[in-house]
Every structure is written in structure tokens, then in C-alpha cells.
């Protein structure tokens, strides 16, 4: 049995416009890298964290990665296991790109591999969700599930958890701009209204069904019409300076839908080609800078595999 493993887990886009807490997909970059080394005793330690600016806890009961690993080990019945954990953050914290989910997934995916895959994908997902909930204050799988499984994922229900893998249209690209501001998930969720007018709800539910249909059909024209959000965008857009200017710049540059990823501030847009995605990303970047913010951009196809073993 191997004694160490290094795993990359990717960023994810959640909500996907109308899919509040129910739809997400993985992209190729950015992501987090977690290295695990088995110990000769039963201690669980975080030995090193880099790329976080010193903000993440090394307390194993407070870090998303280690909490997920502890949850896995609670359910492992083949002797005591000790692990040294090294976390390399290669994606921004509080960006709306599933940073906490990536660390959580990389940790439990890697440990499950080290132990010979004693747990199936749904069990590993459950462990990762327990870790991610430390950061978000709630269990919602639209980041964690696509990070682990890759591609587009629909969360049908949470009790019990049921996920559905949705086909990915060929040549679908995603342009992401991350304005360098921080939005805390817990605070962003408090902005959401507790009720939705029937007219808005009808429109929203119609978009969810159409989004799933568009993905199955590979119909990007239909997909573009479904990326409309009646629940979170109206509230969370107020946290991103010039949000609608950024969104309009993407649409004018040829984007097939544009919206906020998760709680923000990252904004994603769909494109039919890398050339188009590059053009859209550049347009969004220019608009972000006009509103007085620095930013990072990422251009990616949809990631079909989720985490991968680096070493």
C-alpha cells in the first residue's frame, strides 16, 4: 500500500443562474492541491498550509479538509490511521468558486485512494460535505458534488442526498472573472428573501427544467436563455460593484448566458469556443477594472473528471 498521495481538486461554478443550491459544474482551473502522508501512529495533523495568506486554521477540527478526513476515518473500521496533511491553496478563498469544497474533496478523495477505495463515490461525497459545511455554515452539494464527480451535477434532493450527472455539450467553454473582493458565503445567504412571488417562481422553475433539457440536447442557444436567476442574483449583485455592467459586457461579446458563481464575487459566462471565451473574459476583465477592482480571469472547458492524482 502506498504511503503518500498528492491530489488536485478543481474549482466549481455553482447555482449556474437558476440552479440555486441544485446545479453546479467543474472547471479545469484554478484548484487546490492536498498532499497526504500516512503516519505510524493515529495522529491527524495539518503540517503546512500555503497560498492562503495565513487565514486558514491548522486546527484539524476547524479546517474543511481535515474535518472531512476525520469524518471518513470515523467510518473506517480497519484499524487506527494517522495522516499528515499539507494544503496548497491555488485558488482564491471566498471567491464563489468552491475553494472550501476543493480542499475537502481533495483530502477525502486522496485518503480513500490511499486506503484502497473502501468507500464508494456517494460515501466520499458525504464525508466531503461534512468538511465543506464548516466553511459555509450549511450543507449544500452544488460545489462539492461536481468537484468530486466532474461535469454538470444536479442535486435532486438533500434528504437523502441524490445527485444526477448531466451530459456536457461538446465545445462548451466557460470564462470566469474573479474580482479581488471577498464575499462570505454565510453573509451572502442572509441577503436572500425567504419567499418568492408566484410569477417569479414560475419563471425560475421553467428555467431550471429548460437548463437541464438544454444540457441533454447540447442546445447552447436554449442554454443561454436559461441562465437567469430570480432568487440570488437580485440580492447578491449588490455586493459586486458594477455587476450588471460586467454581465452586459459578456453578453455583448457573445456570451451564451452570464451570472454569479455561488455567492460571488466570481462571474461566469458560457461560450462556444476558446477564442470566444478569451474575448468574453477580456471584456469582463476590462469592465471590472473600470469599476476600480483588480481581478483574475480563467478560461476553461467543462472539467469531466473532477479530482486527479498528481503523485
User: Which string of DSSP letters, residue by residue, matches 36-64?
Assistant: EEEESSS-EEEEEEESSTT-S---TTT-H
The owner of cell 503523485 is 311
Q: Which of 22, 35, 71, 132 is catalytic?
A: 132
Under CATH, what is the fold of the domain 173-301?
Answer: Alpha-Beta Plaits (3.30.70)
Q: Locate the domains of the chain by residue range.
A: 4-166+304-309, 173-301
Distance separating alpha carbons of residues 214 and 256, to the nearest angstrom: 12
- How many other CB atoms sit within 10 Å of the CB of residue 61? 10
Give the residue among 99, 98, 96, 78 at the shortest CA–CA distance from 88. 99
Assigned C-alpha cell, 244: 450588471
Q: What is the pLDDT of residue 138?
A: 66
The owner of cell 486554521 is 57
Q: Which of 71, 185, 230, 287 is catalytic?
A: 185
Q: How far apart are the first and last CA of the chain?
A: 14
Q: Catalytic residue at 64?
A: no
CATH architecture of 4-166+304-309: 2-Layer Sandwich (3.30)
H or E element, residue 29: strand 23-39
Q: What is the pLDDT of residue 137?
A: 64
Distance separating alpha carbons of residues 243 and 267, to the nearest angstrom: 9
Residue 155 CA from chain centroid, whole number = 13
pTM as predicted: 0.93
**Opening angle at CA 92, ends 164 and 172, nearest 5:** 45
Burial class from Cβ neighbours inside 10 Å (0-12, 13-18, 19+) for residue 42 reads: exposed
Distance separating alpha carbons of residues 280 and 261, to the nearest angstrom: 16
Distance separating alpha carbons of residues 30 and 51, to the nearest angstrom: 12
Q: What is the pLDDT of residue 136?
A: 66
Q: What is the pLDDT of residue 128?
A: 95
Distance separating alpha carbons of residues 115 and 180, to the nearest angstrom: 39
Per-residue pLDDT of the chain (311 residues; tens, 9 = 90+): 789 999 999 999 999 999 888 999 999 999 999 999 999 999 999 999 999 988 999 999 999 999 999 999 999 987 788 999 999 999 888 899 999 999 999 999 999 999 999 999 999 999 999 988 776 666 779 999 999 999 999 999 988 889 999 999 888 999 999 999 987 766 767 667 778 789 888 988 899 999 999 999 999 999 999 998 888 888 888 889 999 999 999 999 999 999 999 888 999 999 999 999 999 999 999 999 999 999 999 999 999 999 999 98
Q: Catalytic residue at 132?
A: yes
Q: What is the pLDDT of residue 185?
A: 67
Contacts of 247 (CB under 8 A, 6+ apart): 258, 259, 267
Assigned C-alpha cell, 270: 458560457
- Provide the angle, in degrees to the nearest 10, between the axes of the packed helices 64-74 and 121-136: 140
Q: What is the pLDDT of residue 195?
A: 80
Amino acid at each position: 500500500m502506498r504511503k503518500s498521495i498528492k491530489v488536485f481538486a478543481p474549482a466549481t461554478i455553482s447555482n449556474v443562474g437558476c440552479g440555486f443550491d441544485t446545479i453546479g459544474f467543474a472547471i479545469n482551473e484554478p484548484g487546490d492541491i492536498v498532499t497526504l502522508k500516512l503516519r505510524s501512529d493515529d495522529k491527524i495533523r495539518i503540517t503546512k498550509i500555503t497560498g492562503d495568506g495565513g487565514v486558514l486554521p491548522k486546527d484539524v477540527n476547524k479546517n474543511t479538509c481535515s474535518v472531512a478526513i476525520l469524518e471518513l476515518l470515523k467510518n473506517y473500521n480497519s484499524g487506527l490511521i494517522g495522516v499528515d496533511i499539507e494544503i496548497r491553496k491555488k485558488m482564491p478563498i471566498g471567491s464563489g468558486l468552491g475553494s472550501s469544497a476543493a480542499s475537502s474533496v481533495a483530502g477525502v478523495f486522496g485518503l480513500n485512494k490511499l486506503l484502497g477505495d473502501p468507500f464508494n463515490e456517494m460515501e466520499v461525497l458525504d464525508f466531503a460535505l461534512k468538511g465543506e459545511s464548516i466553511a459555509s455554515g450549511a450543507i449544500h452539494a452544488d460545489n462539492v458534488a461536481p468537484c468530486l464527480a466532474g461535469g454538470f451535477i444536479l442535486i435532486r434532493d438533500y434528504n437523502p442526498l441524490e445527485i444526477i450527472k448531466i451530459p456536457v455539450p461538446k465545445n462548451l467553454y466557460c470564462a470566469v472573472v474573479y474580482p479581488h473582493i471577498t464575499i462570505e458565503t454565510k453573509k451572502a445567504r442572509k441577503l436572500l428573501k425567504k419567499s418568492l412571488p408566484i410569477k417569479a417562481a414560475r419563471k425560475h422553475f421553467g428555467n431550471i427544467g429548460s437548463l437541464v433539457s438544454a444540457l441533454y440536447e447540447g442546445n447552447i442557444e436554449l442554454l443561454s436563455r436559461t441562465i437567469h436567476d430570480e432568487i440570488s442574483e437580485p440580492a447578491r449583485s449588490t455586493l459586486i460593484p458594477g455587476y450588471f455592467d460586467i454581465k452586459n459586457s459578456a453578453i455583448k461579446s457573445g456570451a451564451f448566458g452570464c451570472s454569479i458563481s455561488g455567492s460571488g464575487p466570481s462571474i461566469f459566462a458560457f461560450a462556444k469556443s476558446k477564442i470566444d471565451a478569451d474575448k468574453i473574459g477580456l471584456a469582463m476583465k476590462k469592465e471590472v477594472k473600470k469599476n476600480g477592482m483588480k481581478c483574475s480571469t480563467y478560461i476553461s472547458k467543462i472539467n469531466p473528471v473532477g479530482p486527479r492524482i498528481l503523485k
